[in-house]
Structure 1
């Protein structure tokens, strides 16, 4: 289970990096399309935006599975780290929803995404360390 925990934590961290890349792609695509004369309105979408939305939902699901797996492993503070990841993912969703009405909060959405990647990376590293075995007497 320790390996599963590590893989899930790593997957979340990598997925957040892909989220950052996809929203950058979305922004540059919007700028390029606008420069080319495209109308950017409520019905406008591009691959980066679509990917960002779908992958965000997938990250939430993986974070929930990650928390469940944390109860089945012996990773030191593993449950706490998985709980923090899931909590940050919930905050991320709330920041996304609120940021459409108050765009300045989008900055916090970006910073929180980095926090998710950092905590998930820390959890992965913690799962990679060996557990000290109790000494046995002969």
Structure 2
């Protein structure tokens, strides 16, 4: 189960990196389309935006599975780190929803995304180390 824990934590961190890339793609696509005379309105969408939305939902589901797996492993502070990741993902969703009405909060959405990647990365590293009980055998 430690391997599953580490894999899920790593997957979340990688997924956040892809989220950053997809929203950058979305922004540059919007700028390019606007420069080309495309009307950017409520019905406008591009691949980066669509991917960002769908992948964000997937990260939420993986974070929930990650928390469940954390109860089945002996990773030191593993449950706490998984709970923090899930909590940050919930905050991320709320920031996304609120940011459509108050765009300046989008800055916090970006910063919180990096926090998710950081905590998930720390959880993955923690799962990579051996426990004191395992070394005394």
Match of 2:123 in 1: 123
Paired positions, count: 136
Deviation per CA, 1:87-135, whole angstroms, max 9, x where unpaired?
A: 0000000000000000000000000000000000000000000112374
Using the alignment, how far apart are the partners of 1:83 and 1:31 within structure 2?
A: 37
TM-score, normalised by the number of residues in structure 1? 0.97
Structure 1 segment 1-138 matched on structure 2, within 5 A: 1-133=1-133, 135=136
List runs of 5+ in structure 2 lacking aligned partners: none
Separation in 2, partners of 1:28, 1:108: 20
Larger radius of gyration: 1
**Structure-2 separation of matches of 1:133 and 1:58:** 35
Which structure 1 residue ranges, 5 or more long, are not aligned?
Answer: none
Deviates more, 1:127-136 or 1:101-110: 127-136
Cα distance in 1, alignment partners of residues 3 and 126 from structure 2? 11
Q: Give the SS at the match of 1:133.
A: helix
User: SS state of the match for residue 132, structure 2?
Assistant: coil
Deviation per CA, 1:11-63, whole angstroms, max 9, x where unpaired?
00000000000000000000000000000000000000000000000000000
Partners of 2:54 and 2:6 lie apart in 1 by 23
**2: CA distance, partners of 1:133 / 1:25:** 46
